[in-house]
Protein backbone atom coordinates (compact mmCIF):
# COMPACT_ATOMS: atom_id res chain seq x y z
CA UNK A 1 0.00 0.00 0.00
CA UNK A 2 1.44 3.40 -0.89
CA UNK A 3 1.68 5.67 2.11
CA UNK A 4 1.73 9.41 2.74
CA UNK A 5 2.54 8.94 6.43
CA UNK A 6 6.03 10.25 6.96
CA UNK A 7 6.06 10.64 10.73
CA UNK A 8 8.29 8.50 12.88
CA UNK A 9 6.41 8.85 16.16
CA UNK A 10 2.78 7.82 16.20
CA UNK A 11 0.41 9.14 18.85
CA UNK A 12 -2.57 6.99 19.77
CA UNK A 13 -5.25 6.37 22.37
CA UNK A 14 -3.77 4.33 25.24
CA UNK A 15 -6.63 4.85 27.70
CA UNK A 16 -10.29 5.87 27.50
CA UNK A 17 -13.15 6.56 29.91
CA UNK A 18 -16.44 8.42 30.14
CA UNK A 19 -18.91 9.65 32.70
CA UNK A 20 -22.61 10.48 32.39
CA UNK A 21 -24.62 12.09 35.21
CA UNK A 22 -27.04 9.65 36.88
CA UNK A 23 -30.13 11.88 36.57
CA UNK A 24 -32.21 10.88 33.54
CA UNK A 25 -34.66 13.21 31.79
CA UNK A 26 -36.99 11.28 29.49
CA UNK A 27 -39.07 12.58 26.59
CA UNK A 28 -42.11 11.93 28.79
CA UNK A 29 -40.63 14.22 31.47
CA UNK A 30 -40.19 16.88 28.77
CA UNK A 31 -43.84 16.54 27.72
CA UNK A 32 -44.67 18.01 31.15
CA UNK A 33 -42.28 20.96 30.72
CA UNK A 34 -42.77 22.11 27.13
CA UNK A 35 -45.20 21.63 24.21
CA UNK A 36 -43.62 18.48 22.74
CA UNK A 37 -44.18 14.74 22.55
CA UNK A 38 -42.14 11.57 22.89
CA UNK A 39 -43.27 10.68 19.37
CA UNK A 40 -42.03 13.96 17.82
CA UNK A 41 -38.66 13.85 19.57
CA UNK A 42 -38.04 10.17 18.73
CA UNK A 43 -39.07 10.50 15.09
CA UNK A 44 -37.31 13.78 14.39
CA UNK A 45 -34.11 13.18 16.41
CA UNK A 46 -33.86 9.56 17.62
CA UNK A 47 -33.57 10.70 21.25
CA UNK A 48 -35.51 8.91 24.03
CA UNK A 49 -33.75 10.32 27.08
CA UNK A 50 -30.74 12.32 28.16
CA UNK A 51 -28.64 12.74 31.33
CA UNK A 52 -28.68 16.00 33.23
CA UNK A 53 -26.11 17.28 35.73
CA UNK A 54 -27.43 18.13 39.23
CA UNK A 55 -26.93 21.47 40.97
CA UNK A 56 -24.11 20.15 43.17
CA UNK A 57 -21.99 18.82 40.32
CA UNK A 58 -19.72 20.97 38.19
CA UNK A 59 -18.52 20.32 34.66
CA UNK A 60 -15.05 19.69 36.13
CA UNK A 61 -16.51 16.84 38.25
CA UNK A 62 -17.82 15.09 35.13
CA UNK A 63 -14.46 15.62 33.45
CA UNK A 64 -12.54 14.32 36.49
CA UNK A 65 -14.62 11.11 36.65
CA UNK A 66 -14.09 10.43 32.94
CA UNK A 67 -10.37 11.21 33.27
CA UNK A 68 -9.89 8.85 36.22
CA UNK A 69 -11.45 6.03 34.19
CA UNK A 70 -9.21 6.86 31.20
CA UNK A 71 -6.11 6.85 33.44
CA UNK A 72 -7.17 3.52 34.94
CA UNK A 73 -7.80 2.08 31.48
CA UNK A 74 -4.29 3.16 30.48
CA UNK A 75 -2.82 1.72 33.68
CA UNK A 76 -1.41 5.15 34.53
CA UNK A 77 -1.42 7.65 37.41
CA UNK A 78 -2.02 11.37 37.02
CA UNK A 79 1.69 11.88 37.72
CA UNK A 80 2.41 10.20 34.36
CA UNK A 81 0.52 12.92 32.45
CA UNK A 82 2.40 15.85 30.87
CA UNK A 83 -0.48 18.01 29.58
CA UNK A 84 -4.26 18.38 29.94
CA UNK A 85 -6.42 19.68 27.07
CA UNK A 86 -10.13 20.08 27.76
CA UNK A 87 -12.62 20.82 25.06
CA UNK A 88 -15.92 22.43 26.05
CA UNK A 89 -18.46 25.06 25.06
CA UNK A 90 -19.99 25.20 28.55
CA UNK A 91 -16.96 25.89 30.78
CA UNK A 92 -17.52 25.88 34.52
CA UNK A 93 -16.49 29.55 34.57
CA UNK A 94 -15.50 32.09 31.91
CA UNK A 95 -12.16 32.24 33.74
CA UNK A 96 -10.13 30.26 34.78
CA UNK A 97 -10.21 27.36 32.36
CA UNK A 98 -12.07 24.19 33.35
CA UNK A 99 -8.85 22.31 32.49
CA UNK A 100 -7.11 24.03 35.43
CA UNK A 101 -9.96 23.01 37.78
CA UNK A 102 -9.62 19.42 36.54
CA UNK A 103 -5.83 19.56 36.94
CA UNK A 104 -6.23 20.55 40.59
CA UNK A 105 -8.97 17.97 41.32
CA UNK A 106 -6.90 15.19 39.76
CA UNK A 107 -3.98 16.14 41.99
CA UNK A 108 -1.64 17.00 39.13
CA UNK A 109 1.23 19.27 40.14
CA UNK A 110 2.12 22.03 37.66
CA UNK A 111 1.56 20.40 34.30
CA UNK A 112 0.11 22.73 31.65
CA UNK A 113 -3.66 22.66 31.24
CA UNK A 114 -5.88 24.62 28.89
CA UNK A 115 -9.37 24.67 27.36
CA UNK A 116 -10.22 24.77 23.70
CA UNK A 117 -13.53 25.85 22.18
CA UNK A 118 -14.60 24.36 18.86
CA UNK A 119 -18.27 23.62 19.59
CA UNK A 120 -19.29 20.00 19.26
CA UNK A 121 -16.19 19.39 17.07
CA UNK A 122 -14.00 20.24 20.07
CA UNK A 123 -12.92 16.69 20.85
CA UNK A 124 -11.73 16.17 17.25
CA UNK A 125 -9.70 19.40 17.48
CA UNK A 126 -8.33 18.49 20.93
CA UNK A 127 -7.16 15.04 19.80
CA UNK A 128 -5.41 16.62 16.80
CA UNK A 129 -3.70 19.20 19.06
CA UNK A 130 -2.69 16.61 21.66
CA UNK A 131 -1.24 14.33 18.99
CA UNK A 132 1.05 17.12 17.72
CA UNK A 133 2.70 17.46 21.16
CA UNK A 134 3.45 13.73 21.18
CA UNK A 135 4.56 13.43 17.56
CA UNK A 136 7.03 16.31 17.97
CA UNK A 137 8.49 14.67 21.07
CA UNK A 138 7.43 17.57 23.29
CA UNK A 139 5.29 15.41 25.63
CA UNK A 140 4.83 11.68 26.18
CA UNK A 141 1.33 11.49 27.67
CA UNK A 142 -1.53 13.91 27.07
CA UNK A 143 -4.95 13.77 28.72
CA UNK A 144 -7.63 14.95 26.28
CA UNK A 145 -11.13 15.57 27.62
CA UNK A 146 -14.43 16.45 25.95
CA UNK A 147 -16.97 17.68 28.50
CA UNK A 148 -20.17 19.68 28.26
CA UNK A 149 -23.15 20.55 30.43
CA UNK A 150 -25.33 22.42 27.99
CA UNK A 151 -28.39 21.72 30.16
CA UNK A 152 -27.16 24.78 32.11
CA UNK A 153 -27.58 26.88 28.97
CA UNK A 154 -31.00 25.73 27.80
CA UNK A 155 -34.17 27.75 27.55
CA UNK A 156 -36.65 25.20 28.90
CA UNK A 157 -39.48 27.00 27.07
CA UNK A 158 -37.80 26.60 23.65
CA UNK A 159 -38.85 23.18 22.35
CA UNK A 160 -36.57 23.61 19.34
CA UNK A 161 -33.45 23.26 21.54
CA UNK A 162 -34.26 22.01 25.05
CA UNK A 163 -35.22 18.50 23.91
CA UNK A 164 -31.91 17.95 22.09
CA UNK A 165 -29.07 18.27 24.54
CA UNK A 166 -27.71 16.23 27.45
CA UNK A 167 -24.63 16.43 29.68
CA UNK A 168 -21.56 14.19 29.82
CA UNK A 169 -17.81 13.81 29.57
CA UNK A 170 -15.35 11.54 27.82
CA UNK A 171 -11.57 11.39 28.11
CA UNK A 172 -8.64 9.71 26.43
CA UNK A 173 -4.97 9.42 27.27
CA UNK A 174 -2.78 9.90 24.21
CA UNK A 175 0.67 8.34 24.19
CA UNK A 176 3.29 6.96 21.83
CA UNK A 177 2.09 3.81 20.06
CA UNK A 178 3.54 1.31 17.59
CA UNK A 179 4.58 2.69 14.19
CA UNK A 180 1.69 2.72 11.73
CA UNK A 181 -0.93 2.67 14.51
CA UNK A 182 -2.76 5.41 16.38
CA UNK A 183 -3.79 8.72 14.84
CA UNK A 184 -3.15 8.38 11.12
CA UNK A 185 -4.62 11.72 10.07
CA UNK A 186 -6.62 14.73 11.21
CA UNK A 187 -8.79 17.04 9.16
CA UNK A 188 -10.00 20.29 10.76
CA UNK A 189 -12.17 23.04 9.27
CA UNK A 190 -14.15 26.12 10.30
CA UNK A 191 -16.27 28.88 8.83
CA UNK A 192 -17.06 31.87 11.01
CA UNK A 193 -19.61 32.86 8.36
CA UNK A 194 -21.95 30.44 10.17
CA UNK A 195 -21.28 31.79 13.67
CA UNK A 196 -24.85 33.04 14.06
CA UNK A 197 -26.46 29.67 13.38
CA UNK A 198 -25.59 28.16 16.75
CA UNK A 199 -24.58 30.31 19.68
CA UNK A 200 -24.89 31.36 23.32
CA UNK A 201 -24.88 35.14 22.87
CA UNK A 202 -24.46 36.43 26.43
CA UNK A 203 -21.96 35.81 29.21
CA UNK A 204 -18.83 36.75 27.26
CA UNK A 205 -17.17 40.16 26.95
CA UNK A 206 -19.30 41.07 23.93
CA UNK A 207 -22.53 40.87 25.90
CA UNK A 208 -21.75 40.45 29.60
CA UNK A 209 -24.40 38.88 31.84
CA UNK A 210 -26.93 41.49 32.95
CA UNK A 211 -30.46 41.39 34.33
CA UNK A 212 -31.66 42.18 30.82
CA UNK A 213 -29.62 39.39 29.19
CA UNK A 214 -30.98 36.99 31.78
CA UNK A 215 -34.60 38.06 31.22
CA UNK A 216 -34.15 37.75 27.44
CA UNK A 217 -32.48 34.32 27.99
CA UNK A 218 -29.46 35.38 25.98
CA UNK A 219 -27.26 33.05 28.07
CA UNK A 220 -29.15 30.14 26.48
CA UNK A 221 -28.42 28.14 23.33
CA UNK A 222 -29.90 29.70 20.19
CA UNK A 223 -29.95 27.58 17.06
CA UNK A 224 -31.23 27.68 13.52
CA UNK A 225 -31.92 23.94 13.47
CA UNK A 226 -32.75 23.62 9.80
CA UNK A 227 -29.58 25.39 8.63
CA UNK A 228 -27.39 23.44 11.08
CA UNK A 229 -28.98 20.22 9.80
CA UNK A 230 -28.17 21.12 6.18
CA UNK A 231 -24.60 22.03 7.16
CA UNK A 232 -24.16 18.79 9.12
CA UNK A 233 -25.16 16.47 6.29
CA UNK A 234 -22.61 18.22 4.04
CA UNK A 235 -19.84 18.49 6.64
CA UNK A 236 -19.82 14.88 7.91
CA UNK A 237 -19.17 13.22 4.52
CA UNK A 238 -16.74 15.97 3.46
CA UNK A 239 -14.63 15.69 6.65
CA UNK A 240 -14.77 11.89 6.51
CA UNK A 241 -13.48 11.74 2.95
CA UNK A 242 -10.85 14.46 3.53
CA UNK A 243 -9.41 12.73 6.61
CA UNK A 244 -9.43 9.31 4.92
CA UNK A 245 -7.68 10.74 1.86
CA UNK A 246 -4.93 12.13 4.11
CA UNK A 247 -4.48 8.65 5.60
CA UNK A 248 -4.53 7.06 2.15
CA UNK A 249 -7.63 5.04 3.06
CA UNK A 250 -11.22 4.82 1.83
CA UNK A 251 -14.55 4.35 3.60
CA UNK A 252 -14.25 0.61 2.90
CA UNK A 253 -11.18 0.46 5.16
CA UNK A 254 -13.12 1.85 8.15
CA UNK A 255 -14.39 -0.62 10.74
CA UNK A 256 -16.34 1.88 12.86
CA UNK A 257 -17.57 5.41 12.22
CA UNK A 258 -17.99 7.37 15.47
CA UNK A 259 -19.83 10.56 14.52
CA UNK A 260 -20.98 13.43 16.71
CA UNK A 261 -24.34 12.33 18.11
CA UNK A 262 -26.74 15.15 17.26
CA UNK A 263 -29.64 13.64 15.35
CA UNK A 264 -30.19 10.10 14.04
CA UNK A 265 -31.51 11.54 10.75
CA UNK A 266 -28.22 13.41 10.25
CA UNK A 267 -26.32 10.15 10.77
CA UNK A 268 -28.60 8.22 8.39
CA UNK A 269 -28.25 10.88 5.67
CA UNK A 270 -24.46 11.07 6.08
CA UNK A 271 -24.17 7.26 5.94
CA UNK A 272 -26.25 7.20 2.76
CA UNK A 273 -24.09 9.91 1.14
CA UNK A 274 -20.92 8.02 2.08
CA UNK A 275 -22.31 4.70 0.87
CA UNK A 276 -21.74 3.15 4.29
CA UNK A 277 -24.03 0.60 5.94
CA UNK A 278 -25.69 1.96 9.07
CA UNK A 279 -24.37 -1.02 11.05
CA UNK A 280 -20.91 0.60 10.90
CA UNK A 281 -22.18 3.88 12.39
CA UNK A 282 -21.87 3.88 16.17
CA UNK A 283 -24.80 5.64 17.79
CA UNK A 284 -26.12 6.03 21.33
CA UNK A 285 -28.19 9.16 20.76
CA UNK A 286 -31.35 7.48 22.06
CA UNK A 287 -29.87 7.26 25.59
CA UNK A 288 -27.89 10.49 25.91
CA UNK A 289 -29.13 13.02 23.32
CA UNK A 290 -26.55 15.48 22.04
CA UNK A 291 -23.81 15.77 24.68
CA UNK A 292 -21.90 18.21 22.46
CA UNK A 293 -18.13 17.77 22.60
CA UNK A 294 -18.51 14.72 24.88
CA UNK A 295 -20.57 12.71 22.42
CA UNK A 296 -17.70 11.22 20.37
CA UNK A 297 -15.48 10.04 23.27
CA UNK A 298 -18.54 8.72 25.15
CA UNK A 299 -19.61 6.68 22.09
CA UNK A 300 -16.05 5.47 21.51
CA UNK A 301 -15.69 4.45 25.15
CA UNK A 302 -18.97 2.50 25.07
CA UNK A 303 -17.78 0.68 21.96
CA UNK A 304 -14.42 -0.12 23.59
CA UNK A 305 -16.11 -1.32 26.79
CA UNK A 306 -18.44 -3.56 24.75
CA UNK A 307 -15.34 -5.54 23.73
CA UNK A 308 -15.85 -5.51 19.96
CA UNK A 309 -12.84 -3.35 19.02
CA UNK A 310 -9.74 -5.30 17.95
CA UNK A 311 -6.17 -4.07 17.57
CA UNK A 312 -5.78 -2.80 14.01
CA UNK A 313 -9.42 -1.72 13.59
CA UNK A 314 -9.76 1.60 11.78
CA UNK A 315 -11.96 4.15 13.54
CA UNK A 316 -13.24 7.32 11.91
CA UNK A 317 -14.16 10.03 14.44
CA UNK A 318 -16.10 12.86 12.80
CA UNK A 319 -17.88 15.91 14.17
CA UNK A 320 -19.52 19.23 13.41
CA UNK A 321 -20.76 22.08 15.54
CA UNK A 322 -20.82 25.73 16.54
CA UNK A 323 -18.34 28.00 14.87
CA UNK A 324 -19.21 26.56 12.48
CA UNK A 325 -16.55 23.89 12.85
CA UNK A 326 -16.12 20.38 11.51
CA UNK A 327 -13.43 17.76 11.31
CA UNK A 328 -12.34 14.14 11.62
CA UNK A 329 -9.58 11.92 13.05
CA UNK A 330 -8.59 8.58 11.50
CA UNK A 331 -7.31 6.19 14.17
CA UNK A 332 -5.87 2.72 13.77
CA UNK A 333 -6.62 1.13 17.13
CA UNK A 334 -3.46 0.08 18.96
CA UNK A 335 -4.82 -1.13 22.30
CA UNK A 336 -5.28 -4.79 23.05
CA UNK A 337 -6.48 -4.78 26.65
CA UNK A 338 -8.31 -2.59 29.11
CA UNK A 339 -7.44 -2.47 32.81
CA UNK A 340 -11.17 -2.11 33.56
O1 LIG B 1 -24.42 19.67 17.89
C2 LIG B 1 -24.86 20.34 16.76
C3 LIG B 1 -26.10 21.04 17.00
N4 LIG B 1 -27.36 20.81 16.49
C5 LIG B 1 -27.83 19.99 15.54
O6 LIG B 1 -27.20 19.18 14.97
C7 LIG B 1 -29.26 20.17 15.21
C8 LIG B 1 -29.53 20.08 13.73
N9 LIG B 1 -30.94 20.26 13.46
C10 LIG B 1 -31.85 19.31 13.79
O11 LIG B 1 -31.51 18.26 14.34
C12 LIG B 1 -33.29 19.54 13.44
O13 LIG B 1 -33.36 20.66 12.58
C14 LIG B 1 -34.20 19.78 14.69
C15 LIG B 1 -34.33 18.49 15.47
C16 LIG B 1 -33.63 20.87 15.57
C17 LIG B 1 -35.59 20.20 14.22
O18 LIG B 1 -36.14 19.18 13.40
P19 LIG B 1 -36.87 19.55 12.05
O20 LIG B 1 -37.39 18.30 11.49
O21 LIG B 1 -35.86 20.33 11.24
O22 LIG B 1 -38.06 20.43 12.52
P23 LIG B 1 -38.39 21.96 12.17
O24 LIG B 1 -37.48 22.87 12.92
O25 LIG B 1 -38.44 22.11 10.69
O26 LIG B 1 -39.84 22.09 12.75
C27 LIG B 1 -40.95 21.34 12.23
C28 LIG B 1 -42.13 21.55 13.14
C29 LIG B 1 -42.37 23.03 13.48
O30 LIG B 1 -43.77 23.20 13.59
P31 LIG B 1 -44.63 23.85 12.37
O32 LIG B 1 -44.02 25.21 12.14
O33 LIG B 1 -44.44 22.92 11.21
O34 LIG B 1 -46.01 23.88 12.90
C35 LIG B 1 -41.78 23.18 14.84
O36 LIG B 1 -42.36 24.22 15.59
O37 LIG B 1 -41.88 20.92 14.38
C38 LIG B 1 -42.08 21.84 15.45
N39 LIG B 1 -41.18 21.49 16.53
C40 LIG B 1 -41.55 20.65 17.52
N41 LIG B 1 -42.69 19.99 17.77
C42 LIG B 1 -42.73 19.22 18.87
C43 LIG B 1 -39.89 21.89 16.73
N44 LIG B 1 -39.42 21.34 17.84
C45 LIG B 1 -40.43 20.56 18.36
C46 LIG B 1 -40.53 19.74 19.50
N47 LIG B 1 -41.69 19.10 19.71
N48 LIG B 1 -39.50 19.57 20.36
Q: What is the pLDDT of residue 5?
A: 53
CA 160 to ligand 1 centroid distance, Å: 5
Q: Is 72 close to ligand 1, i.e. is its CB under 6 Å away?
A: no
**Ligand 1 pocket mutation pick from 36, 44, 166 by most atoms within 8 angstroms of CB:** 44
Mean pLDDT estimate for the chain: 96
Using DSSP, state whether 6 is helix, strand or coil.
Answer: coil
Residue 1 has pLDDT above 50, yes or no: no
CB-based contact 247:317 (threshold 8 Å): no
Q: What is the pLDDT of residue 339?
A: 53
Residue 113 has pLDDT above 60, yes or no: yes
Would you place residue 191 in the very low, low, confident or very high pLDDT band (cuts 50, 70, 90)?
very high
Q: What is the pLDDT of residue 338?
A: 62
Closest CA to 125 of 116, 133, 134: 116
CB-based contact 133:175 (threshold 8 Å): no
When pLDDT is averaged across residues 112-121 and rounded to a whole number, the result is 98
Range with the lowest mean pLDDT among 116-130, 216-230, 257-271, 326-340?
326-340
Tens of pLDDT along 244-295?
A: 999 999 999 999 999 999 999 999 999 999 999 999 999 999 999 999 999 9
Of the candidate CATH numbers 3.40.47.10, 3.40.50.300, 3.30.230.70, 3.40.50.1970, the domain formed by 183-332 belongs to 3.40.47.10
Q: Is 44 close to ligand 1, i.e. is its CB under 6 Å away?
A: yes
Would strands 198-199 and 49-51 be described as parallel, antiparallel, or unpaired? unpaired
The 10 Å Cβ neighbour count of residue 301 is 26
Distance CA(92)–CA(61), nearest Å, equals 10
Q: What is the pLDDT of residue 230?
A: 97
Q: Is 162 close to ligand 1, i.e. is its CB under 6 Å away?
A: no
Closest CA to 46 of 330, 312, 266: 266
Rounded percentage of the chain residues whose pLDDT exceeds 70? 98
Residue 199 has pLDDT above 50, yes or no: yes
Residue 56 has pLDDT above 80, yes or no: yes
Using DSSP, state whether 246 is helix, strand or coil.
Answer: helix
Per DSSP, the residues of 8-64 read: SSEEEEEEEEEE--S-EEEHHHHHTTSS--HHHHHHHH---EEE---TT--HHHHHH
CA 286 vs CA 51, 144, 247, 268: distances in Å: 11, 25, 32, 14
Distance CA(184)–CA(328), nearest Å, equals 11
CA 111 vs CA 128, 182, 208, 213: distances in Å: 19, 24, 31, 37
Closest CA to 147 of 51, 63, 220: 63
Which residues are designated catalytic? 120, 260, 290
Closest Cα to atom 47, ligand 1: which residue? Answer: 36
Q: Is 229 close to ligand 1, i.e. is its CB under 6 Å away?
A: yes
Q: What is the pLDDT of residue 3?
A: 47
Domain ranges in the chain with CATH number 3.40.47.10: 10-180, 183-332
What's the pTM value of the predicted model, to 2 decimals?
0.96
CATH of domain 10-180: 3.40.47.10
Q: What is the pLDDT of residue 266?
A: 97
Amino acid sequence: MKTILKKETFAGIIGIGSHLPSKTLTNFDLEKIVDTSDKWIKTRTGISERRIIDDNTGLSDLAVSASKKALFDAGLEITDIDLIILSTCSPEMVMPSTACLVQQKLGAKTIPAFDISAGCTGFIYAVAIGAQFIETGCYKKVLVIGADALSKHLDWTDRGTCVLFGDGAGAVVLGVVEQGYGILSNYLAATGAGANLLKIPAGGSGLPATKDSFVKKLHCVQMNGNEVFKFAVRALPQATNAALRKANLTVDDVDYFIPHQANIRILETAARKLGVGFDKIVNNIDKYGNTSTASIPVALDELWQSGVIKKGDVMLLVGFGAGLTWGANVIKWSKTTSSN
